């Protein structure tokens, strides 16, 4: 007995993330929805609004592609995660895990790593479609990919932690979709995903600036749109500093929410 060692934290996180990903791939409906939804939207919006120049020689499809990459992170990390966890809680999956020696934070980290894996595939698919269908070339400079890396990591981490926190919002797994989906949908409309942000009424822009998706989308535009387009942004700049501050702020909100409100059992089961 004394010779045995307990599994390392890293191995537990890896074990969890592989397991989550395996289950994700096998739940074919969910996987198809997560991967196909942004692609279908890109095709749809490309067909409807493609060819419209929105300033600095940028086509709306390019703008939309960056927005889809941003919202894809929010879909996977926040929406799917929060709904999935709410259902797992109803099915006592979380209760079982709580009864095991798995550290709670390793469960959370496993979710983050799983979301990273899914998001990378999703972004690769979007970029591939953008390139082959619309001839949008991904940036070649290293600095752009450096920006991408931190925006992507911060966006994923804050989305996932917010998803963990929001998973305790709905009273039941059945209600989860109804509670969580509208939040994301509204944000998509006001955060510069479906519409060009600067074309929104000023008050709506102000509302959107409180939430993370606006900043995540702006960060992705700074990666995938030409440098000149910064002139067309709301404050005529990419505002990298503000993006970082806002995403970190939401990351902290998500972390506090996740730690304070996360429930391993159904409501009233204590």
Nearer to other proteins, 11 or 231 (CB): 11
Please name which of 18, 123, 43 lies closest in space to residue 75, comparing C-alpha atoms: 123
Please name which of 103, 117, 111 lies closest in space to residue 12, comparing C-alpha atoms: 103
The only residue of 102, 127, 207, 230 in contact with other proteins, by rule CB under 8 A: 102
Beta bridge partners of 59: 53
The only residue of 100, 135, 140, 201 in contact with other proteins, by rule CB under 8 A: 100
User: Should residue 8 be labelled a site residue for other proteins when binding is judged by CB under 8 A?
Assistant: no
The only residue of 93, 121, 234, 255 in contact with other proteins, by rule CB under 8 A: 93
| Rounded Cα gap, residues 255 and 261, in angstroms | 10
The only residue of 19, 32, 44, 248 in contact with other proteins, by rule CB under 8 A: 19
Number of residues that bind other proteins (CB under 8 A): 27
- Provide, rounded to whole angstroms, the least separation between the CB of residue 10 and other proteins: 13
Please name which of 102, 100, 109, 90 lies closest in space to residue 20, comparing C-alpha atoms: 109
User: Should residue 267 be labelled a site residue for other proteins when binding is judged by CB under 8 A?
Assistant: no
The only residue of 10, 11, 228, 261 in contact with other proteins, by rule CB under 8 A: 11
- Provide, rounded to whole angstroms, the least separation between the CB of residue 11 and other proteins: 8
Please name which of 187, 189, 192, 188 lies closest in space to residue 222, comparing C-alpha atoms: 192
SS3 259: helix
Q: Which of residues 107-166 bind other proteins (CB under 8 A)?
A: none
> What's the full length of the chain, in residues?
270
Long-range contacts of 166-169 (CB under 8 A, 24+ apart): 166/78, 166/82, 166/257, 167/81, 167/82, 167/83, 167/85, 167/86, 167/89, 167/262, 168/86, 168/261, 168/262, 168/263, 169/82, 169/261
Evaluated on CA atoms 79, 234, 196, 39, the torsion sign reads negative
DSSP assignment, residue 226? -
The binding track of 26-65 with respect to other proteins, each residue x by CB under 8 A or -, is xx--------------------------------------
User: Should residue 172 be labelled a site residue for other proteins when binding is judged by CB under 8 A?
Assistant: no
The only residue of 98, 194, 211, 262 in contact with other proteins, by rule CB under 8 A: 98
User: Should residue 199 be labelled a site residue for other proteins when binding is judged by CB under 8 A?
Assistant: no
Nearer to other proteins, 12 or 69 (CB): 12
End-to-end CA distance of the chain: 34
**8 A C-beta contact, residue 62 and residue 95:** no
| Rounded Cα gap, residues 93 and 199, in angstroms | 45
Nearer to other proteins, 134 or 264 (CB): 264
User: Should residue 260 be labelled a site residue for other proteins when binding is judged by CB under 8 A?
Assistant: no
The only residue of 1, 29, 140, 241 in contact with other proteins, by rule CB under 8 A: 1
User: Should residue 270 be labelled a site residue for other proteins when binding is judged by CB under 8 A?
Assistant: yes
Task: Using CB under 8 A, list all residues that contact other proteins.
Answer: 1, 4-7, 11-12, 15, 19, 22-23, 26-27, 91-93, 95-96, 98-103, 265, 269-270
């Amino acid at each position: 007995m004394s010779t045995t060692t307990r599994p390392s934290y890293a191995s537990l996180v890896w074990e969890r993330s592989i397991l989550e990903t395996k289950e994700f791939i096998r739940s074919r409906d969910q996987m198809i929805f997560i991967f196909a939804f942004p692609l279908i939207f890109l095709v749809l919006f490309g067909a409807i609004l493609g060819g419209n120049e929105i300033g600095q020689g940028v086509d709306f499809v390019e703008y939309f592609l960056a927005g889809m990459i941003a919202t894809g992170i929010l879909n996977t990390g926040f929406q799917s995660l929060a709904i999935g966890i709410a259902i797992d809680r109803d099915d006592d999956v979380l209760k079982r895990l709580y009864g095991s020696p798995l550290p709670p934070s390793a469960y959370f980290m496993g979710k983050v790593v799983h979301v990273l894996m899914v998001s990378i595939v999703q972004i690769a698919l979007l970029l591939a479609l953008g390139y082959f269908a619309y001839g949008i070339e991904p940036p070649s400079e290293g600095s752009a990919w450096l920006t991408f890396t931190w925006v992507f990591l911060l966006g994923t981490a804050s989305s996932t932690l917010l998803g963990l926190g929001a998973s305790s919002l709905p009273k039941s797994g059945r209600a989860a979709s109804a509670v969580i989906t509208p939040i994301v949908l509204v944000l998509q409309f006001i955060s510069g995903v479906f519409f060009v942000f600067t074309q929104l009424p000023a008050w709506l822009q102000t509302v959107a600036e409180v939430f993370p998706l606006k900043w995540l989308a702006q960060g992705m535009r700074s990666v995938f749109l030409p440098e000149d387009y910064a002139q067309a942004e709301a404050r005529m700049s990419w505002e990298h500093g503000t993006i970082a501050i806002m995403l970190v702020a939401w990351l902290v909100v998500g972390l506090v929410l996740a730690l304070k409100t996360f429930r391993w059992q159904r409501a009233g089961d204590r």
